Amino acid sequence: MSKLSNTDNYLDLFLNNIPMMDVRAPVEFNNGAFPNSLNVPLLDDEQRAVIGKQYKDAGQDEAIELGLKLATPEIRKQRLDDWEQFVVSKPEGYLYCFRGGLRSRTTQAWLKEQGIDYPLIKGGYKAMRSYLLEQLDVSVSQIPFVILSGLTGSGKTRVIKKTPYHVDLEGLANHKGSAFGRDVNDYQPTPINWENQLSIDCLKYRHQYPESGLLLEDEGKMIGRLILPFEFHQKMILAPRIFLQRDLPDRVRIIREDYISTSWPLYQQQYGDQAESIFSSFVLDNLIRIKKRLGGERMQRIHASFSKALTHLFETGESDLFDDGISQLLLDYYDPMYDYQLKKKPVDVIFRGTEAEILQWSEDNLKCYDVAKFN
């Protein structure tokens, strides 16, 4: 069916979003894979464990023999049906296992018996993973970083998404980067998937914008539960910064929109009758997490304000009563924390401006970035 040959052109695979059929066991896939891969395994987790033990105890030939015994006609038919469905829907794709070895060749051979030629990726998952880690280092060394800073609620994520010269770190991490930043499902990718996607996005950026600077939102070393790669974050710390200016009422509105108005309907859709209880916990429990830094009296005041606002939201669908508590949280916690961090480690800001001015600066300076001018 496919006229493609086996490949080790990893650059082409990732730049062009080539579909990949991952024939590793589910436990391997769930630990780490690639954005355009789908798990259609040769062995399930139990079979993999049994055959792996046989390989360790008795060698490859005995492991292969056991694998053939486990591949009953029913199992073989199911595997072939699943693979053929992928092949028919993704004729431009490739298959891979961990090292591009026995499992890949076995899958190819079974498909060949059905008259289907489908190419494999040489070196498999291990080689592609190594390639992406190497390319992330290359990206860090070659791409000039510019960091967008600003007070909490300035809408930094909104701004970077309006310019092509960006990678959205919080989007990749599926987390807004604060105590209230987790999404409705509290889902974040695995650390391996996070690194893989970051590397791929930077790889694509290098090839699409080879002369451009890269705008990144100011982040700590962790976004939710995920850790930024060390060298990547170190470069962010040392990179030139631009500062987004936004007045307090607009910051309050942005936070209310991003964390309340947008999130509440998602909780209703996801949790139904339990939505009110779960959303209340999301708001109030996250507030309690910062109690130590906020202080007991201020925490109680903001907690009472948010509790009242939640009741109003559930009764009317309106979120405007959150503004008072959000304003207190910004003035009493987030802004002082930002000032403290700035005094602890001052940074040079090369430009300050409104959203429109930041976007214009980005267009004027990032497209053909002059490293000597700003670094």
Domains belonging to the chain, first-starting first, are 10-130 (3.40.250.10), 143-374 (no CATH)
pLDDT at residue 69, as a whole number: 75
Place of tokens 């108005």: 261
180 pLDDT higher than 70: no
158 pLDDT higher than 80: yes
Which two three-digit tokens encode residue 208? 């699409």
pTM beyond 0.85: the answer is: yes
Residues known to be catalytic: 97
Q: Over range 228-245, report the average pLDDT.
A: 96
pLDDT at residue 113, as a whole number: 92
* Structure confidence by residue, pLDDT tens digits, 270-310: 999 999 999 999 899 888 888 777 877 888 999 999 999 99
Q: Show contacts of 36-39: CB within 8 Å, 24+ apart.
A: 37/96, 38/86
